[in-house]
């Protein structure tokens, strides 16, 4: 009898665990006074806290959090992004636990609070309340369009568990490393880095989003020549998108499905801006001064209504270098010839449709401020220079430039702009 009881207890605990892992009882669409939200909950030790609850917030926002214990209560708390600002929230289910073990009961209402600096939990101000009424039950009704990267992905290099807040994505892959990236919904590209904790090494990724799948590439340098990295979402709760054709596998490095029906065709290519040489000046004839300062590359897409920053592949810093006299760009020289390495160039993904649209422009701004550290006399300052180039202007590409472009200045930055 004791053995039977123990066996029954083990089976019961196993059943509860399975139920908790597979039936979080939150999935669906909720109506709130701030707009609709969708929710899906997944459970894995790879997520921070062991769970993730996520979905779209209104038309262009995200809601991302985790279910946890707060005293005797089960709560869902996390971060929302409303399209322009970050905030915090906390929800409690009304009348039923998040992990409800009775199939004929399910959450119909979430009662919570929100704020920008704090979630204002249990505030007495009605303006801080955020009540969500579930209007559609089940993950089948969820078709995320904004918070599309959160959740588990089954990839060609093991499982990947991601969390998205706004356009920023973080997470882990196959239990050995972390992922940090940014998503651009206009180009459908997620770009960023991964860190392998076992070998203490950082690599680069570029994923092309197709709804509940992605096709991508990776590598230990920004060239990402190590191979493809493709994935499929474990819970297929994203809106399916039409497949876009990427024809330049040399420059883009993405694979395409030749059997798919392409209803929207848009080729992509790269613009590379590469530093070639930097020269400063010096008054010293007795010692070799050090070169320091900064240089930056920034690309903007110009439409009739707005100016949009285009992030470089890998979401690199806009500064090619940014050094001080205590940590100079190069010691004992007033010039440097930059090696042709990823550190000293920036790649930008451009849509061919945008490039051929006469109402859209692309402006590249180059700025620099070069100085030399002098020994025994004041440092030499070359001054600040900045110039903006219209990349769609005839013969603007595949060309070397110099700023300032004059022979009377002994202080300048050379760079090369090319289309790949």
Residue 395 banded pLDDT, cuts 50, 70, 90: confident
User: How is residue 19 written in tokens?
Assistant: 């139920």
CATH 2.60.40 domain range(s) in the chain: 268-419
> Tens digits of per-residue pLDDT, 229-256?
999 999 999 998 765 544 333 333 343 3
Neighbours of 291 (CB within 10 A): 26
Distance separating alpha carbons of residues 209 and 231, to the nearest angstrom = 10
Distance separating alpha carbons of residues 93 and 26, to the nearest angstrom = 9
The model's pTM is 0.57
What does the radius of gyration of the chain's CA atoms come to, in whole angstroms?
A: 26
- How far lies 150's CA from each of 55, 231, 249, 340, in Å? 8, 13, 27, 36
Q: Which residues pair with 37 in a beta bridge?
A: 30, 57
Distance separating alpha carbons of residues 104 and 120, to the nearest angstrom = 32
Distance separating alpha carbons of residues 276 and 343, to the nearest angstrom = 12
Task: Please tell us whether the domain made up of 268-419 is placed in CATH 2.40.128.
Answer: no
Give backbone dihedrals phi and psi of 90, rounded to 5 degrees, phi first.
-145, 135
> Tens digits of per-residue pLDDT, 175-187?
899 999 999 988 8
Residue 346 banded pLDDT, cuts 50, 70, 90: very high
Neighbours of 13 (CB within 10 A): 10
Alpha helix positions (H), 239-358: 352-355
Distance separating alpha carbons of residues 376 and 144, to the nearest angstrom = 63
Nearest-5° Cα angle at 63, 57 to 69:
140
Check pLDDT > 70 for residue 10: no
Residue 341 is predicted with a pLDDT of 85
**Region 359-374: what's the mean pLDDT?**
93
Residue 283 banded pLDDT, cuts 50, 70, 90: low
Q: Which of 44, 181, 26, 167 is nearest to 98 (CA)?
A: 26
């Amino acid at each position: 009898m004791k053995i039977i009881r123990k066996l029954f207890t083990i089976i019961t605990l196993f059943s509860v665990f399975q139920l908790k892992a597979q039936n979080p009882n939150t999935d669906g669409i909720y109506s709130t006074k701030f707009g609709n939200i969708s929710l899906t909950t997944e459970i894995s030790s790879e997520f921070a806290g062991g769970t993730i609850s996520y979905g779209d917030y209104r038309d262009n926002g995200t809601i991302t959090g985790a279910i946890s214990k707060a005293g005797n209560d089960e709560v869902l708390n996390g971060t929302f992004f409303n399209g322009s600002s970050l905030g915090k929230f906390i929800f409690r289910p009304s009348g039923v636990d998040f992990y409800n073990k009775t199939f004929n009961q399910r959450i119909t209402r979430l009662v919570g609070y929100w704020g920008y600096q704090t979630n204002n939990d249990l505030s007495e101000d009605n303006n801080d309340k955020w009540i969500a009424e579930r209007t559609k039950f089940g993950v089948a009704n969820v078709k995320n369009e904004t918070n599309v990267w959160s959740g588990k992905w089954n990839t060609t290099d093991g499982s990947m568990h991601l969390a998205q807040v706004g356009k920023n994505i973080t997470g882990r892959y196959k239990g050995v490393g972390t992922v940090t990236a940014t998503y651009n919904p206009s180009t459908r590209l997620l770009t960023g880095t991964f860190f392998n904790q076992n070998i203490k090494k950082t690599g680069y990724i570029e994923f092309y989003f197709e709804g509940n799948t992605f096709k991508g590439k990776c590598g230990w340098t920004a060239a990402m020549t190590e191979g493809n990295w493709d994935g499929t979402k474990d819970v297929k709760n994203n809106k399916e998108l039409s497949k876009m054709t990427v024809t330049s596998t040399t420059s883009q490095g993405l694979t395409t499905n030749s059997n798919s029906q392409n209803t929207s065709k848009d080729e992509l290519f790269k613009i590379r801006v590469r530093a070639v040489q930097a020269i400063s000046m010096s008054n010293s004839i007795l010692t070799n001064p050090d070169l320091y300062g900064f240089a930056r590359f920034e690309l903007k897409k110009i439409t009739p209504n707005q100016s949009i920053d285009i992030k470089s592949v890998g979401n690199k810093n806009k500064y090619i270098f940014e050094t001080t006299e205590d940590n100079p760009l190069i010691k004992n020289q007033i010039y440097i010839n930059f090696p042709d390495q990823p550190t000293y160039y920036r790649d930008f993904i451009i849509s061919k449709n945008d490039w051929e649209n006469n109402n859209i422009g692309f402006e590249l701004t180059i700025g620099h401020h070069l100085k030399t550290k002098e020994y025994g006399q004041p440092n030499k300052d070359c001054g600040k220079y900045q110039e903006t180039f219209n990349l769609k202007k005839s013969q603007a590409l595949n060309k070397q430039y110099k700023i300032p472009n004059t022979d009377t200045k002994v202080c300048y930055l050379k760079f090369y702009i090319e289309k790949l």
